Amino acid sequence: MLLSYLPVLIMVVFVSLVAFAVLFVSSLLRPKNPYPAKLKPWECGLEPIGEANRGQVRIHFFIVAILFIIFDVESLFLFPWAVILNDASISMFVFIEMIIFIAVLAVGLIYAWVKGALDWV
């Protein structure tokens, strides 16, 4: 049985060797001339203002990211369910469970919307 994984192992080894070869050749061919202007920090094409450790990050970005992850995981749960939906062995109980699952997530989305978590201001 382990012999059936041999092509995968060969591909992993080959891809790893190619990746290390590309990194090695690029380290040999790249120019090596670090100078002070090249080593300065750069922010979106502008000179940085102040210290880098200001700590002024809006929590709104994290809330949007968490909402994205929640609905991304929801889609992972919905795909297998949608695949077996035409199967005759699926019961009405499973269908109702999935409708309840979608309803709970919809209520959460409406709550986040009402609270202003989705406002991009």
* 3-state secondary structure at position 47: coil
- Topology classification of domain 59-115: Methane Monooxygenase Hydroxylase; Chain G, domain 1 (1.20.58)
User: What are the distances in angstroms from CA 115 to CA 60, 100, 119, 120?
Assistant: 12, 22, 9, 12
pLDDT tens, residue by residue, 58-97: 778 888 888 889 888 888 888 887 777 776 667 777 788 8
What is the pLDDT confidence band of residue 2, given thresholds at 50, 70 and 90?
Answer: confident
- How many other CB atoms sit within 10 Å of the CB of residue 67? 16
pTM over 0.75: no
pLDDT tens, residue by residue, 12-36: 999 999 999 999 999 999 888 888 8
Contact call for residues 118 and 65 (beta carbons, < 8 A) = no
Residue 58: per-residue pLDDT: 74
Paired with 43 in beta bridges are: 46
